[in-house]
Chain A
Amino acid sequence: MEYASSRSRRTDRRRITGGAALDKLAVRPLTLASLTNVFLKAGNTTFGGGDPTMMALKRELGERRGWFSDEQFALVFSLARITPGTNVLAFCAGAAYLMYGWLASVAAVVASSAPSAVLAVWLTVVFESADRNPVAKMTVSGVLAAVVGMMGAAVWQLTKPNFSSKGWPRIVALTGGTLLLREVWGWSPLEIMALAAGIGAMWREP
């Protein structure tokens, strides 16, 4: 498991294996423009708050392009939860930083939020002058239904590596326990993640 930037890993790999081999390994080339484009699309087309956006980014950056590992996702997702402010923006800043450095971090945050911010101002003006359009409301409902499916797919991707006889206790204890603490006892994500990190640090690898 390593957290060095994907760009430096990619450069090292090119040096060792040559460009042709690299092309087989990399799903798509990682450039500042292509990275920013992913954040632009995922950040401004996903409804339902930060978690669906982070899941869309995980899928686009990790599963589809191979730029972002599950371990990197876990680290940035967790730290974004404990960073003050808007979690998803901290996630964008951290994820882009790990992949391409600080310039990408700034580009990712701006690309993932500026168009939506402009839209929010426009919606503010519209809401002040008119009631909500029922057709538009139904369209958004369709998108939100897809968000539920998207989050289910993300849960599948996150738990899949543990689908073994030795991995099940971890899923039950950590995923199930988190759900229980959150839904039944109302623990905050911060408290739950601190407890999970403590348990994980003490739990021997299966």
Chain B
Amino acid sequence: MNLLVLYLLLLKAMLLSFSGLSSLPVIEADFVEKHHLITERQLNTAVAAGRSGPGPLGLYVVSVGYMAAGIPGAVAGYIAMISPAFLILPILRFLANRAGNPRIRGAIRALLLSAAGLLISSALPIGRATLTDGVTVAVAAVSFVVLAFTRVETLAVVAGSAVVGLAAALLRG
């Protein structure tokens, strides 16, 4: 498949979505149903691969590109994934000149508190799926205390949690 067309198809899906997997229906329609570039099973594998590693959920787009056209397809998928991110820059430039306005300050302060609510909402499904035993609950609690009240590097907390998870798995056999 032509890499430019592949890029444009993936870019279209990204531009029509506002969060990680919300581009999935568009990709399924274009890649599986309309153009038959990949199978449904391949799409599921791409989603699983994208979600299993670190980084954004939208990474599955790179896997879709790889499924459709190999390494060049993965590169096209990667560029399609990152391209829309730069749309934020003109909006920022516009707002930066109006930051002193009391109404805008009030709105931003409100958005800060609303963001906290959205974070709790995002944490709930991860917590339900992950905090299934004493070890994971303890890891979450210790991570909270360390991250909220100390200046320990986040990477150290992530690495320590991985070691605890691995140790728990090995002890259980």
B8: CB under 8 A from chain A?
no
Q: How far is the CA of A200 from the CA of B104 in the complex (A)?
A: 8
With known contacts A113-B55, A203-B110, A1–B100 Cβ distance under 8 A = yes
Q: How far is the CA of A203 from the CA of B92 in the complex (A)?
A: 23
Say which residue of B113, B137, B146, B170 sits within 8 Å of A145 (CB atoms): B137
Q: Please give, as numbers and ranges, the residues of chain B lying within 8 Å of A182 by CB-CB distance.
A: 117-118, 121
Would you call B108 and A78 a contact (CB within 8 A)?
Answer: yes
Would you call A175 and B137 a contact (CB within 8 A)?
Answer: no
Would you call A205 and B106 a contact (CB within 8 A)?
Answer: yes
- Tell me the smallest distance from the CB of A57 to a CB of chain B, in Å: 9
- Tell me the smallest distance from the CB of A205 to a CB of chain B, in Å: 7
With known contacts A119-B53, A175-B114, A151–B91 Cβ distance under 8 A = no
Q: Please give, as numbers and ranges, the residues of chain A lying within 8 Å of B84 by CB-CB distance.
A: 83-86, 89-90
With known contacts A90-B87, A159-B113, A81–B18 Cβ distance under 8 A = yes
Q: How far is the CA of A64 from the CA of B73 in the complex (A)?
A: 38
CB neighbors of B among A134-175 (8 A): 134-135, 138-159, 162, 170-171, 174-175
B4: CB under 8 A from chain A?
no
Would you call B109 and A135 a contact (CB within 8 A)?
Answer: no
Q: How far is the CA of A106 from the CA of B56 in the complex (A)?
A: 17
Would you call B166 and A93 a contact (CB within 8 A)?
Answer: no
Q: How far is the CA of A161 from the CA of B143 in the complex (A)?
A: 21
Kindly count the residue-residue contacts between A and B in the assembled complex, taking CB atoms under 8 Å apart. Answer: 389
Q: How far is the CA of A174 from the CA of B95 in the complex (A)?
A: 22
CB-CB contacts of B122-152 with A at 8 A, as 1s and 0s?
1110110111100111011111111110010
Would you call A109 and B82 a contact (CB within 8 A)?
Answer: yes
**How large, as a class, is the contact surface on chain A?**
35 or more
With known contacts A84-B17, A120-B49, A89–B130 Cβ distance under 8 A = no
Would you call A97 and B89 a contact (CB within 8 A)?
Answer: yes
Would you call A116 and B85 a contact (CB within 8 A)?
Answer: no
Would you call B154 and A84 a contact (CB within 8 A)?
Answer: no
What is the predominant secondary structure among interface residues of chain A facing chain B? helix
Would you call A142 and B165 a contact (CB within 8 A)?
Answer: yes
Q: Which residues of B line the A interface, CB within 8 A? A: 14-20, 45-46, 48-50, 52-60, 62-63, 66-67, 71, 74, 78, 81-89, 91-92, 95-96, 99-100, 102-124, 126-127, 129-132, 135-137, 139-148, 151, 153-155, 157-166, 168-170
A36: CB under 8 A from chain B?
no
A71: CB under 8 A from chain B?
yes
Would you call B115 and A202 a contact (CB within 8 A)?
Answer: no
Q: How far is the CA of A150 from the CA of B67 in the complex (A)?
A: 34
Q: Please give, as numbers and ranges, the residues of chain B lying within 8 Å of A141 by CB-CB distance.
A: 130, 132, 136, 165
Q: How far is the CA of A197 from the CA of B115 in the complex (A)?
A: 11
Would you call B58 and A196 a contact (CB within 8 A)?
Answer: no
Would you call A123 and B14 a contact (CB within 8 A)?
Answer: no
Interface centre among A55, A63, A143, A182 (most CB of B within 10 A): A143
Would you call B99 and A146 a contact (CB within 8 A)?
Answer: no
- Tell me the smallest distance from the CB of A44 to a CB of chain B, in Å: 5
- A–B Cβ pairs within 8 angstroms, 17 of them: A45-B155, A60-B153, A74-B111, A83-B87, A116-B55, A120-B63, A141-B165, A142-B163, A145-B131, A145-B136, A147-B126, A148-B123, A149-B147, A151-B123, A153-B144, A182-B121, A196-B107
